[in-house]
């Protein structure tokens, strides 16, 4: 089936109202899906008690979600080319809604885990679909403004998730984590069934089964191994030894190598599951590298900070979530403003100071202890949020705008896949560092040792963030690159 929108076909100077309506629907749906993704971490201790399961088993509620995302996202590049926008959206929201319903009525752990996997299958499709749609229907000179809204979704939802989860868990049953989201998901599905259009061209693409399997083993294996490594935080063992994790990582890397080799061969015949020619663009490559580093720092710190606030500062789950909230609000307010600046000035005036702010925030966190004031911690988080807001929009826009239109879906799949992997690396490395140092410094006492562990973990994040600062100087405006080439 071929369905072409005049919006995508003619690439006008302004966004067609129908295309903008589709983008708003995708923005809302993606926000709800990612918000759901980040509410579970803080709920696991309560679920362990209420479901009567071991902590190592409860950790699968997040590990399985991340694993499913890592398996599904790499295949979205081909899926978005082969199937219509409407069909892909309705499939994604149906899966997400069905998974949410399964979680809501789950009688026990096994059914709850199944629901999380179904949810993740829908969530994994949503962000690549949103980004590809923006690239197809929004002219380049306006993409920063729209990508600013995408940046809000990518950064605000993970930050708000723990706060929402804490408020629900302190006053309601854990089932309300899904009971509040389900009606919103069903409304979005109903609106999509009525309003969603087919944007762009659908063309038949053969799905290479071997590539799907290698992708699942490679990307899924890396995320799974790292989640097992990171889930040993707080003195709770995930039941997986360091040697076993190392073997899983080696096997995953081998699978990734075979996956890359196969894609290089298949793309000669235009049959690649994930077209790696996106990396021929140096600007895309540099943008993805900087984005991955920021994702590592963001997801790692957003996981580590609530643990520090609860274990060291002594705050409740709700109070810990509220510390992150002011920064999230600031980030949301800045998104459209940052987008307009990008459209007018390009990426560097935003990206360079933005990455410096993120790095400075992580360095500041590396010096906190049990006596650090809550106000100072909130201020650091706000500064980091400003930096992330200034970084995400330029990176989204500059990376995908550097590609040929036929590679938009593959570029979006690469960007989102590497974000997931980098986020898993950040969580695993920072949490493992915190646990190891706290264990070594146990003679200092429980609170002091936890503080020392948090300092060391944040310092690793700060050191890694310097790579983003350096990389920011190499990200250029795609429009200016093309103008210079003429």
In Å, what is the CA distance from 166 to each residue of 41, 82, 149, 174, 273?
10, 41, 25, 10, 40
pLDDT at 273: 86
Q: What is the DSSP string of 8-30?
A: HHH--SS--HHHHHHHHHHHHHH
Q: Which residue reads 């899966």 in tokens?
A: 95
pLDDT at 6: 40
pLDDT digits (tens, 9 = 90+) for 376-391: 888 998 898 899 889 9
pLDDT at 91: 92
pLDDT at 204: 65
The runs of H, that is alpha helices, within 346-445 are: 348-365, 374-401, 408-440
CATH class of domain segment(s) 6-477: mainly alpha
Cα separation, 159 vs 137, in Å, equals 29
pLDDT at 446: 78
Blockwise average pLDDT, block size 10, the chain, 486 residues: 40 65 87 82 79 76 82 86 86 94 93 93 89 82 80 72 78 88 92 77 74 88 75 48 80 93 88 89 94 85 78 76 77 83 90 94 87 86 89 88 87 87 82 83 81 88 92 88 66
Indicate the domain borders of the chain.
Answer: 6-477
In Å, what is the CA distance from 102 to each residue of 51, 93, 202, 483?
16, 14, 32, 52
In Å, what is the CA distance from 203 to each residue of 19, 200, 272, 337?
20, 10, 14, 37
Q: Which of 178, 141, 183, 102 is nearest to 478 (CA)?
A: 141
Is the dihedral angle over the CA atoms 73, 79, 80, 85 positive or is it negative? negative
What DSSP state is assigned to residue 444?
Answer: G
Average pLDDT, the chain: 82
pLDDT digits (tens, 9 = 90+) for 97-156: 999 999 999 998 999 999 999 999 999 898 888 888 888 788 877 778 888 777 777 767
What do you get for the CA distance between the two ends of the chain, in Å? 37
pLDDT at 216: 87
pLDDT at 346: 87
Coil, helix or strand for 203? Answer: coil
In Å, what is the CA distance from 229 to each residue of 130, 135, 450?
32, 37, 18
Cα separation, 215 vs 75, in Å, equals 8
pLDDT at 317: 66
- Has this prediction a pTM greater than 0.85? no
Q: What is the DSSP string of 250-284?
A: HHHHHHHHHHHHHHHHHGGGT--SS-GGGGG-HHH
């Amino acid at each position: 089936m071929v369905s072409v929108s005049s919006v995508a076909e003619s690439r006008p100077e302004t966004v067609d109202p129908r295309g903008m309506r589709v983008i708003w629907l995708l923005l809302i749906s993606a926000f709800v899906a990612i918000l759901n993704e980040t509410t579970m971490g803080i709920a696991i201790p309560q679920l362990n008690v209420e479901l009567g399961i071991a902590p190592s088993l409860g950790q699968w509620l997040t590990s399985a979600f991340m694993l499913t995302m890592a398996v599904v996202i790499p295949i979205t590049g081909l899926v978005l080319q082969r199937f219509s926008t409407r069909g892909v959206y309705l499939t994604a929201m149906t899966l997400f809604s069905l998974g949410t319903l399964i979680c809501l009525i789950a009688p026990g752990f096994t059914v709850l885990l199944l629901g999380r996997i179904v949810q993740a299958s829908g969530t994994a499709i949503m962000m690549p679909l949103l980004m590809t749609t923006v690239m197809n229907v929004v002219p380049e000179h306006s993409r920063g403004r729209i990508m600013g809204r995408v940046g809000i979704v990518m950064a605000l939802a993970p930050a708000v998730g723990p706060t929402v989860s804490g408020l629900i868990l302190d006053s309601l049953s854990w089932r309300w984590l899904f009971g509040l989201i389900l009606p919103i998901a069903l409304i979005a599905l109903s609106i999509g069934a009525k309003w969603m259009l087919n944007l762009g061209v659908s063309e038949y693409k053969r799905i290479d089964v071997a590539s799907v399997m290698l992708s699942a083993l490679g990307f899924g294996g890396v995320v799974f191994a790292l989640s097992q490594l990171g889930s040993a935080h707080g003195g709770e063992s995930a039941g997986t030894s360091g040697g076993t994790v190392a073997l899983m990582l080696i096997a995953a890397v081998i699978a990734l190598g075979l996956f890359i080799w196969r894609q290089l061969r298949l793309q000669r015949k235009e049959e690649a599951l994930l077209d790696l020619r996106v990396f021929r663009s140096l600007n895309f490559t540099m943008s993805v590298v900087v984005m991955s580093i920021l994702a590592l720092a963001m997801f790692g710190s957003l996981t580590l900070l609530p643990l520090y606030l609860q274990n060291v500062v002594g705050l409740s789950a709700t109070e810990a979530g509220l510390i992150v909230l002011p920064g999230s609000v600031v980030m949301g307010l800045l998104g459209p403003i940052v987008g307009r600046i990008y459209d007018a000035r390009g990426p560097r005036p935003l990206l360079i100071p933005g990455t410096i702010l993120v790095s400075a925030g992580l360095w500041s966190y590396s010096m906190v202890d049990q006596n650090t004031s809550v106000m100072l911690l909130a201020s650091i988080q706000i500064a980091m949020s400003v930096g992330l807001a200034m970084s995400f929009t330029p990176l989204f826009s500059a990376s995908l705008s550097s590609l040929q239109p036929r590679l938009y879906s593959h570029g979006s799949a690469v960007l989102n896949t590497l974000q997931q992997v980098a986020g898993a690396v950040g969580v695993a490395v920072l949490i493992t560092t915190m646990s190891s140092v706290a264990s070594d410094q146990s003679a200092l006492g429980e609170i002091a040792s936890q503080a020392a562990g948090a300092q060391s973990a944040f310092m690793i994040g700060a050191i890694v963030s310097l790579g983003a600062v350096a990389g920011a100087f190499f990200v250029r405006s795609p429009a200016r690159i093309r103008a210079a080439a003429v």
